[in-house]
Structure 1
């Protein structure tokens, strides 16, 4: 079940955040994520968060308006549709989604391409000095228009 984030979810979300970053970004010094842990913990509640709750938090997506500020899935629940469900939740709320992905994180790039994201540009992340891609998905919402009698 995907639901809105609650304050009591914070520790589970942060555990998934740290483990996910350490696993997906082995090209970045692990100390970078450990040093940013407290800052992220403070900022998380300022984003719009949705969690996949399957008798415990198995993944989450953080949104700052239409920008995906984070998408993380517990390693034991990857490749089971959790990430796709979370992205679809975001797609229900926005006409366009944007996300930055490290160029070396090919699994994430492949995931977003499968979710109909396109690569828009490439830049260097100022904090890590690593190349990253800006990806965008245009979302078409089907709106049913009823017939009106004049």
Structure 2
């Protein structure tokens, strides 16, 4: 497994450094710097206590933690959040409580998200009058099927949905 050096400062000296829970994990855990209550459907931007300097050609992506999403309904609003190589401020996470009934309580130091560092390319955009043909063409959302019960507002099958009478 390759690695990249990421310079880091703590904006809150009592908060632990981002850490990988297991060898080989893609995401390093980020924690919250504050106690927080999120009612059903509420969202809040919370600090993680760290700022980083990524090398040019890399970006950080802030992902939700799957266990918190499954057990508590905690999500990241703009998942994944993007940390650009030139950003030097504290990494903040916009959390949302997707649970329709329960208030979610977080304590300072709770793991709230994970940071994935990836190499990225910058595109050189070239305008053309027509794009080359492809097998997929202009088929968009849901075009590869797999959802037998997918239908349009009038009850007709959505283009690209599977045929059959499977109910979901």
TM (norm. structure 2) is 0.25
Larger radius of gyration: 2
Higher relative contact order (CA closer than 8 Å, sequence separation 6+): 2
Structure with greater proportional helix content: 1
